[in-house]
Structure 1
Amino acid sequence: MTYASALDALDQLADDESGNYLEVLDEGSMRVEIGRHAAGEAAPKNPHTEDELYYVVAGSGKVRVGDDVHAVEPGDTVFVERGLEHDFFDIAEDLVTLVVFAESSNPSSYSIRE
């Protein structure tokens, strides 16, 4: 992915009302998405069957991973172990993240939060 295509993906997310995430790479053992959440929005996430790494590109807010809560800003990374509930909330400035999903036996599956 080039810098220009990453910016194009962000523009597409801004115009797309069907979701806040856009897949930009899927190479079997790794999947990468760009996420965007507007200020004031909450971004609950169902637990996944893969480990995840979020890199905060822009914006600020808070993230909850399991029982831990942390403020996030550009340059922060957040690791989410597979199966853990997690969410972004108290988003003060539009939040843009790069999300990397690690390999699993079923890399695109989501578990259901009760």
Structure 2
Amino acid sequence: MTHVSATDLLDELDDKQGNAVEVLDEDSLTVEIARHTAGEATPKNPHTEDELYYVVSGSGKIRVGDDVHSVESGDTVFVEQGLEHDFFDIGEDLVTLIVFADSSNPTSYSMRE
């Protein structure tokens, strides 16, 4: 069993560069928590594994391939491996829990240009 405090992880984000910190790294999945500040946009970054985003707090928009959706606290977004995706028009700081499924290389950005 693994127990992790989201509050502690968000505090850790305050103390480091970057916007994500790893929560869990197991053979079958990897989990991260990320924060994107209001007004910023994230780069388009396809990955080599499927991803699930759960919006913990905040609001903004996500683009997955050619689809655009508004997101807010409580929303879930599935992104198939290889699809470009990004958050933008972030109105309130956006905190997401990200699950990378079947990941043999959990931080793989090998498909990113």
Q: Given the two structures, how large is their TM-score scaled by the length of structure 1? A: 0.90
SS in 1 for 2:91: strand
Partner residue in 2 for 1:10:
10
Query: How far does residue 43 in structure 1 lie from its aligned partner after superposition?
Result: 1.1
Partner residue in 2 for 1:19:
18
| Aligned-partner Cα distance in 1 for 2:80–2:20 | 19
Q: Residue 48 of structure 2 contacts residue 108 of structure 2 at CA under 8 Å; is this kept in 1?
A: yes
Q: Which amino acid aligns with 1:10?
A: L
| Aligned-partner Cα distance in 1 for 2:94–2:14 | 12
| Aligned-partner Cα distance in 2 for 1:2–1:104 | 20
SS in 2 for 1:7: helix
Q: Residue 27 of structure 2 contacts residue 103 of structure 2 at CA under 8 Å; is this kept in 1?
A: no
**CA RMSD in angstroms, aligned pairs only:** 1.5
Relative to structure 1, is the Cα distance of residues 37 and 107 closer, same or farther in structure 2, using a 3 angstrom cutoff?
closer
Partner residue in 2 for 1:101:
100
Q: Which runs of 5+ in 2 are unaligned?
A: none
Q: Which runs of 4+ in 1 moved over 3 A?
A: 104-108
Q: Which runs of 5+ in 1 are unaligned?
A: none
| Aligned-partner Cα distance in 2 for 1:19–1:105 | 22
Partner residue in 2 for 1:69:
68
Q: Given the two structures, how large is their TM-score scaled by the length of structure 2? A: 0.91
Deviations 1:70-106 (A, max 9, x none): 0000000010000000000000000000000000454
Q: How many residues align?
A: 112
Partner residue in 1 for 2:54:
55
